[in-house]
Structure 1
Amino acid sequence: MKILRFAVWMFLVIPIILASEDVLYFRRQEGESVDLPCEQGERGTPPIGLYLKRTGVGPEKEVMFFSADRPQVMDPADEDRIHVHGSLSRNLLNVTISQLQRKDTALYYCQFIYNGHPKDEFVAGKKSFFVFVEVEGIHCSCSNYPPLLYAISAAVGLLLLILICLGATQCCKSCKQRKPQTLVPIYEEMAGVRPANGKAPRSHLEILHQEETDHSMYASMNDNPQIKQRQENHYVSPRGTRLPLQSGDTSGEEK
């Protein structure tokens, strides 16, 4: 969980903070100090208190509370490092953090408290402050965070795998839609066996064409009077000569 928060903080929150006009950026070395100018808005009455809060990789945290007396530091270890210059009656107060440490890198903002009825009113200051503390001789490098590298690599690999699967699915769908569906005639399936002479069986269209040709030839033969006469006279030879009579018929004529 901490690794995820750190990744979000480094790659998402920090670029937004640096690009914002309402955020002041302070870059300091470890052991130096920084002054945070807390400026309140224009209101008729002065505030009754001031909070200095910070947010970063972890949850939001109260660093200091300042009222009319003196600042109250939440962490006793930081009590000697935080000081306030100015008063609440002025529009601007300076909060100084000295002896900066690497853990002080965070986003800070001021929150003024105004007396109200029935509840007090909390108003944020005009500016927020991003403090980045560098350690001398140590540069920020991703190689110092092996778990973070593993998490980022796993996330990138999973994303690539999802994209590849989606692309393959879309490609298969498009190929199925473009592939024509060939219709196999029923008579071809029923034939199933080739003839013994090795020739492929004639198609249904060829058979119909042959039948139409035979029918037309038969009709033309019936329309021809010579052919029709020959068909009616069984004694006429194909050459038009009379066939010889049988012996029985000859004897009958002689009698």
Structure 2
Amino acid sequence: MTGVRLLACVWLLTHTGLARSELQFLERREGGSVVLSCGVDQRSPPPYGVYLRRSWLRPGKVLFMLTRSEFTVGDDDDRNRTSVSGDPGSHCLNVTLSDLRPGDTDRYYCEFIVDRPSSEDERVRGRTEFFLLVAADARGSADIGLVQTCAGGSAVLPCLPPNGEGLVVEGVILQRQRGSAPVEMLYHSKRHHSGSPPSSSSSSSSSHFPTERVHLSSRPGPSGITYNLTLQQLQPEDSALYSCQLLVRGRSDTSSSLGRRVFFVSVQGGDCGCSSYSTLLYALSAAVAILLFIVLIGFVLVYQSKARRGVKSHPPAPIYEEMAGVKPPNRKLLSHHLEEIESSEYRNCPVKKSSPENQYESPSGALCSRT
């Protein structure tokens, strides 16, 4: 399964490209305006149309525009508060939304349409995706951060203690708000541990995070102990504004609004197994290159070893053998042949020992030839 998963990630990379759209966080007050700048990389042929879409709270089409034509809107009520400058054929345009309302809070992206005569028209996402937050109260001055993750991943939210030094932390509260909906309490550590339900004066508690999906950790820092709340196993529907508040002994914990530090947690729909696709691709490419290099070195070593063995198994013949064209006779056979000749030449010749008394004995009757 790991190999199939890896191949699926590589297939996804080759079909979707190495770069995802950049997410831009935009915060506006109710009644204000915002400009969404849509752009796409240069291509041939150029786009002939563009969509502006919402993809989170109210998925659907906001507007559509053909090149050198007027745009159309998905909701007639938005016609008078929407304007467009630029043209899809120039690869960029600006969409202005005026008289903003809390209901305009959502994720927005542009989708360019490119003509492909031999196949279905190509749909290309713009370089930037937008998260628009329209605040209906004084929260517009709050510190809002952005945390991005993927389906099945986790998000870490720093928790700020209430004002005051030397306070004893007894627990943590996790709150969430989707668009203009009321703030809901997802997790209250003291009530989760005691098993008692939240009080009616608290925020809505219609959807709780299971205890195993929330983890509070602490560690010493330069300015004292810092606390982090980790949300695990997140899904795209969990995208929202989150606030983490520490429970301090002797302080009220019935706040119905988000805290001083708010985070928009954006959960992408892709699987976390492919989220780090660039790193995975680079690591996979490096591993394949190293493997091929090792195999190549092995082939070279084997070839050189065989070549050396071939040279040693065929030593050069002596010069005199090459000139004579025959092998030298065996010394043992030659010695044996000489012995046969000598024995045949002198086998009838009796050998007499010379007597010291008769030094003039005549060798008469000898059958052997004399030298």
Please give the TM-score of this superposition, normalised by the length of structure 1: 0.48
More helix by share: 1
More strand by share: 2
When Rg is computed on C-alpha atoms for both structures, the one with the higher figure is 1
